[in-house]
Amino acid sequence: MKTSGKMLCVVLLGVVVGALLAGPAIALEVGQKAPDFTLMAPGNHQVKLADLIGKGPVVLYTFMNTFAAA
């Protein structure tokens, strides 16, 4: 039981540190340009927003809570 308690403390500490280092989220208004960012695509290929914008309009869609239990 002591090991699981220590593990829980480590996980909680990691969550708190991660939240503190993440910084505040910035909301964009309609029509405002998004800041450039890079994401990892399948095959460890980096995709930059600036590269995609050069090819045409970009639509970002999120699946918030799509796979969460109801």
2 φ/ψ angles, rounded to the nearest 5 degrees: -65, -35
User: What's the confidence (pLDDT) of residue 48?
Assistant: 92
Distances (CA, A) of 11 to 5, 8, 47, 58, 59: 10, 5, 30, 36, 35
33-57: pLDDT as tens digits: 888 889 888 888 998 999 988 898 8
Domain limits, the chain = 2-53
User: What's the confidence (pLDDT) of residue 3?
Assistant: 67
User: What's the confidence (pLDDT) of residue 18?
Assistant: 67
Question: Could you tell me the pTM of the whole model?
Answer: 0.46
| Residue 1 confidence (pLDDT) above 50 | no
Distances (CA, A) of 43 to 39, 60, 68: 12, 20, 26
